[in-house]
Amino acid sequence: MAVTTRGSNIRASDHISEDRLWQRHMAMAKLGATPRGGVNRQALSAEDAQARKLLGSWAASRGYDVFTDPIGNLYVKRPGTDASAKPVLSGSHLDSQPTGGKFDGTYGVLAAFEALEALDDAGIKTKRPIVAVAWTNEEGNRFQPGCMGSGAFAGVYPLEQLLSGKDPQGTSVRDAFAELLKTAPARLEPRLGFPIDSYIEAHIEQGPILENTKNEIGIVTLIQGMRRFYIDVFGEEAHSGTTPLKLRKDALKSACSMVTALEPLMADPTDTVRYTVGRFEIYPGSPSTVPSKVHFLIDLRHPDIATLERLGDGIASICEAEAAKRGCTVKVTEYTTVAPMPMGAEAVALVRDSAKALGMKHIDIISGAGHDAMHVAKVAPAGMIFVPCWKGISHNETEDATAKDLANGARVLADALVSLANR
Ligand code: GLV
Ligand code: MN
Ligand code: MN
């Protein structure tokens, strides 16, 4: 049991409201709702602005301080009793994949906000402030790179480079953020990044382990590493009706053979390697013109740094060999490199203690997905709490989770936050 105020054993977790947390998810899910029951709420879009506005209105009704930073991370601060103490941070992201679900990211933001409300309802004061955060552009679909806001906060990427980045329509992060502020105004703190004591992120698991093992809580010990590459294949445009096959420099056929030729490198009897081509763009995209250019993306993940290095480093030579076979050329550009990131020992232990004290069935788990915690862990001890999701399905409109499981994770979170904020 977390001792919260002198002489009292009130638990923040007892004041988590399963219904309130669920209703907040359902309200958020309307913003960018898709016909198949998911959400399309891409980073810094009109829908993202609506979601931030809604969170801001809930925060205002509690009297919390709401502010944003130059990359658009949105913070909701509940004060502590020691104004000079570094805050404990908790949150995730409100942006989604184009065919995303209602819970990926949103859960971590709403669970953090629910924890703040539970503390208020319980009358618990903490020494440190607790700040709920919605990081900008975790998903990395509209704008690159993903985990942009948390990366900027942790000093991983230069701000100017991020603000100048453009979406496929040519809108910059800078302009999209300025537009978003018109709908969801928030006090702008010119500082990017501030000292924090610790960070805990709650998230749906996005995989099947908790459900299959009938565990209620996953205690994340490590987030596996990730490398992402732009592959640009250059051939030559030619008439599809007249140009003999032998004379073509077909960038599409070359790109397809690269995707296939990489399979043996990525083959893994333990099924630990994650190799994905999730975007494939063909130019000029005309039925009667041999493609002159293909742009595709490789996403590669592994928990072991040496394996991740070996596999990622092997990509360029295989692509070059395939390009040469068809008279094409290829440019391989790595644009995201994140080493496997262990979670902080103290944060992990506190989350485990909190789950144990609440009598919840829990296991240690490695995160296959990337999360903002992997950047925040560079500047403060960080931990993550996973809850089960239906069949482990995520990045899919059918993504689902139960109100009970979501509330259980919020309970573990609330007690862990109090422990961190009072030490
Ligand atoms: C985050 O959504 C990821 O791609 O792991
Ligand atoms: Mn997520
Ligand atoms: Mn996601």
Question: What digits encode the pLDDT tens for the residues 142-191?
Answer: 999 999 999 999 999 999 999 999 999 999 999 999 999 999 999 999 99
By three-state DSSP, how is residue 15 classified? helix
Task: Report the candidate in 12, 156, 150 with the shortest Cα–Cα distance to residue 91.
Answer: 150
**Nearest ligand for residue 38 CA:** 3
Q: Is the CB of 139 under 6 A from ligand 1?
A: yes
Is pLDDT above 70 for 6? Answer: no
The atom number, within ligand 1, closest to the CA of 226 reads 5
Q: What is the mean pLDDT of the chain?
A: 97
Strands of 274-283's sheet, edge to edge? 274-283, 293-302, 225-234, 329-338
Q: What is the pLDDT of residue 7?
A: 42
Is pLDDT above 80 for 42? Answer: yes
**Nearest ligand for residue 278 CA:** 1
Ligand 1 pocket: which of 93, 135, 139, 335 to mutate (most atoms <8 Å of CB)? 139
Tell me the per-residue pLDDT of 303-348, one tens digit each, with 9 for 90 and over.
999 999 999 999 999 999 999 999 999 999 999 999 999 999 999 9
Q: Which residue carries 């030729």 as its tokens?
A: 261
Q: End-to-end CA distance of the chain, in Å?
A: 14
The atom number, within ligand 1, closest to the CA of 299 reads 4
Q: What is the pLDDT of residue 83?
A: 86
Tell me the per-residue pLDDT of 59-93, one tens digit each, with 9 for 90 and over.
999 999 999 999 999 999 999 999 899 999 999 99
Q: What is the pLDDT of residue 8?
A: 60
Rounded to the nearest angstrom, the distance between the alpha carbon of 371 and the centre of ligand 1 is: 6
List the structure tokens of 126: 């903490």
Distance from C-alpha of 267 to C-alpha of 318, rounded to nearest angstrom: 14
Q: How confident is the model at residue 14 (pLDDT cuts 50, 70, 90)?
A: very high
Distance from C-alpha of 231 to C-alpha of 233, rounded to nearest angstrom: 6
Rounded to the nearest angstrom, the distance between the alpha carbon of 65 and the centre of ligand 1 is: 29
Using an 8 Å Cβ cutoff, are 274 and 302 in contact? yes
Distance from C-alpha of 138 to C-alpha of 72, rounded to nearest angstrom: 12
Residue ranges of the alpha helices (H) in 205-342?
Answer: 209-213, 251-261, 263-266, 305-313, 315-325
Q: Model's pTM, two decimal places?
A: 0.94
C-alpha 255: how far from chain center: 28
Burial class (CB in 10 A: 0-12, 13-18, 19+), 248: buried
Ligand 1 pocket: which of 395, 396, 399 to mutate (most atoms <8 Å of CB)? 395
